[in-house]
Amino acid sequence: MSRPLFLRIFDAIQRHDNHFVQQRDGLGKLGLSGLQKITAAFRMLAYGLPADSTDEYIKIGESTAIESLKKFCRAIVEVFSNRYLRSPNANDVARLLRIGESRGFPGMLGSLDCMHWKWKNCPTAWGGQYAGRSGSPTIILEAVADYDLWIWHAYFGLPGTNNDINVLEASHLFANLAEGTAPPANYVINGKNYNMGYYLTDGIYPKWSTLVQTIHQPRGPKKKLFAKKQEGCRKDVERAFGVLQSRFAIVAGPSRFWNKEVLHDIMTTCIIMHNMIIEDERVDDAHIEERAEVPIADVERTGDDDVQFQEFLARHKKIKDREAHIELRNALIEHL
């Protein structure tokens, strides 16, 4: 993380929470500075250090370090989540469609997958619910990432006994699309117009019209080329998980916190700061924003509740259409 970005985060957190403002005690003695508290939180997030190890370098107690980490994560979520955890708007969708088309996949909005975070201090009573095939309690993160490794969607909190299909059914990934409020994603493949974007996934996911999987044991040069290209582009989300864990070692190792809400704040904070670093290091961000100004579509609501419900069901059925999935995959095979 660059120094200007760190100082920007420090200033925003100080304005949001007085806990990080240096104060005097009853005897007039200066307490810990905000930089000490935020640096302790950063060291615990970036290096996965236990709280008592921050005392040697930063001169801050264990309980104060833990309190600072919890308050820092909560403040990051409250201050920056609207911008750095937003769903793609019309301009974002237009940019993602351009990137997808340049890589051979018109209509691609990113790659979808899940990762597990080990929960070392999971309560014993919950152990059976959270211990999956690894044998250790874990919590699942579902994420969508693009070529720049920006994480557009993050759904965290389901027990490790669930598989990717259960997490997809429980998450809000297609909520806006089903409600009819998602930005338009119009593209053309082989002369046919499509109006719903899709995500690249691995083989466990269901055959929906909004998900494109690889071909297991492809036969023929066309299908082999498609499988190679799809598996190469799908690695975006795997790379995003790897970069996230290398930047913030706390999510790479087992978590030592007890409260699930604290774990949610920590994971969300790491994703937000990961996106902030990507935006800070992105060279062509301003150029991309200037290239296409797409007007945000106004959604007209019908007055009848029954009509709204029937439209919702129709959109929901369209998302899970197996025949549309096969047709889209065959069109992409021919396109490549």
Would you state the structure tokens that stand for residue 158, as one six-digit string? 């389901």
Cα–Cα dist 240/230, whole Å: 17
Cα–Cα dist 198/175, whole Å: 14
Rg of the chain taking only CA atoms, in angstroms: 22
What one-letter code names the amino acid at 40?
A
Cα–Cα dist 40/54, whole Å: 6
Spell out, as residue ranges, where the chain has pLDDT lower than 50: 285-299
Mind listing the pLDDT tens digit for each residue in 180-226?
Answer: 788 888 889 988 898 889 999 998 899 998 999 988 888 889 999 99
Would you state the structure tokens that stand for residue 316, as one six-digit string? 């929901």
Cα–Cα dist 159/69, whole Å: 24
Residue whose structure tokens are 């059914």: 169
Per-residue confidence (pLDDT) for residue 292, from 0 to 100: 37
Per-residue confidence (pLDDT) for residue 303, from 0 to 100: 59
Q: What residues pair up with 187 in beta bridges, in sequence order?
A: 194
Cα–Cα dist 167/34, whole Å: 38
